[in-house]
Amino acid sequence: MTKGNLIVNVYVNNIATPIKGATVNISDGINSINLNTNESGQTNVIELDAPDIKYTLEPQNEVRPFNVYNITVYKEGLGITTIIGTQIYAGILSIQDVFLSTTPGEAGRQTIVITPPTIWENSIPKMEEKVKTTIEDGKVLPRVIIPEYIIVHDGIPTDNHAPNYYVSFPDYIKNVACSEIYPTWPEETLKANVHAIVSFTLNRVYTEWYFSKGYNFTITSSPSYDQKYTYNRNIFDTISNIVDEIFIKYLKFPGRSFPFFAQYSDGINVVREGWLSQWGSKTLGDQGYNALQIVRHYYGETIELAEAEIVPGLPTSFPGYNLTIGACGEEVQLMQNALNKIRGSYPALPLIPNANGIFDTNTEEAVKKFQSVFSLPVTGIVNFATWYRISAIFVAVSDMLKGIFE
């Protein structure tokens, strides 16, 4: 049988508190293995059986194209968390975050079930909404922004008992993409689907669709009304890396600033004119179409990509160019001080002893370790994806944004 890979990250409550020495049991129902977490709260990467990749490349429902594993994590003095249904695909690194309660033992036990992606399930018909070409009625934001958090209602809009989850914008996009499509598809296909997911989400944000109707959330987890979100599901490296690179890019029409309401379906069980077909986008990717060509195939030749503003965690946005050996200036110093602050929670990161705004070999080593810990491509170069991941982790480990130069 072919193999996929899994890494488990263990925290207390949030990513600011990784847990060293937690026991991680991984089981397929027959065999199991125990691993321990290191000082960054991570297990080693482990190889696990997975079905042949071919089952993800054509529409079929005879053979499940991924294996599922159950993961139970515990440490003395903390709660016990079990994840049921972590999905493993051939040739893909699966990243499973696990959060332990501060309530010890059985009293702090929680069980989370990860459901299959919609592309494997019979696709659930969406509540079709008319695509507006202008914004006429309703409350809208003054500009298109990437919010720090999306408030996800884990149910249909009228379910008053469903919980609301605060999810960072990039993490929400990753979760939806992993809950909707296969991570083995061509890179340009994955990008096209991410563009659609980002644009759909930002349309909900920009129009304040649910807030304007009296609800207290941004979007639902229901694929019938919005997009499928699966609480605490595992994420795949192929999708994660793409989202990190393009999460600020959305679809719009010329002369209009607001994000296009980019609807989509599987294209097999549910077909809608003017919607992106997920399986169709895979076929176009196989044929060599790039992401923009794919979205134009479904949404029209005039659709274009725009960049939203970001609500930043660091006091300045990405400078617009990569930071590497020899770079110098305020942006370098901001990044150096942020990494040193993150090191308080992640001691595996080497200290940058002279955070003076000059990108030296010590800085490069700290960047490489950061990239390794947070499952980014390990280059030692601070590109867009690394900059904003540093920003997100810095926010998580800081109670406030001041004091970065201290």
Distance between CA atoms of 43 and 47, rounded to whole angstroms? 12
In a domain, residue 273? The reply is yes
Euclidean distance between CA atoms 248 and 159, whole angstroms: 31
Asked whether residue 305 falls in the same domain as residue 356, the answer is no
Full domain range(s) for residue 92:
2-113
- Residues 35-81 pLDDT 10s: 999 999 999 999 999 999 999 999 987 899 999 999 999 999 999 99
The Cβ-side half-sphere exposure at 368, using a 13 Å CA radius, reads: 12
Indicate whether 235 and 355 sit together in one domain. Answer: no
Strand-by-strand arrangement of the 2-12 sheet: 46-50, 2-12, 93-100, 235-236
**Domain for residue 17, yes or no?**
yes
Measuring CA to CA, how many Å separate 79 from each of 104, 164, 379? 4, 22, 36
Regarding whether 288 and 339 lie in a shared domain, the answer is: no
Global pTM?
Answer: 0.92
In which residue are the tokens 């379906």 written?
A: 265
Does 59 lie in the same domain as 180?
Answer: no
Kindly tell me if the per-residue pLDDT of 365 is higher than 90. Answer: yes
Examine the domain organization and report whether 280 and 152 are in the same domain: yes
Q: For residues 251 and 304, what is the distance between their CA atoms, to the nearest angstrom?
A: 6
Q: Residue 396: which pLDDT band, with cuts at 50, 70 and 90?
A: confident
Overall domain count for the chain = 3
pLDDT score at 3: 97
pLDDT band per the 50, 70, 90 thresholds, residue 135:
very low
Instruction: Write out the DSSP string of 95-141.
Output: EEEEEE-SS-EEEEEEEEEPPPPTTTSPPPPP---PPPSS--SS---
Helix axis angle, 291-299 to 187-207, nearest 10°: 60
pLDDT at 404: 41
DSSP 259: P
Same domain, yes or no, for 48 and 87? yes
Q: What is the mean pLDDT of residues 155-168?
A: 96
The answer to whether residue 26 sits within a structural domain is yes
Q: Are residues 85 and 211 in the same domain?
A: no
pLDDT at 134 over 50: no
Lowest mean pLDDT among 8-12, 28-32, 402-406: 402-406
Q: What are the pLDDT digits (tens) for 171-230?
A: 999 999 999 999 999 999 999 999 999 999 999 999 999 999 999 999 999 999 999 999
Which of 91, 113, 135 marks a domain boundary? 113
pLDDT at 15: 82
In the predicted structure, residue 129 carries a pLDDT above the cut 80: no
Pair (91, 169) in one structural domain = no
* pLDDT (0 to 100) of residue 312: 62
| Residue 217 shares a structural domain with residue 306 | yes
Domain boundary among 282, 310, 338: 310
pLDDT at 123 over 70: no
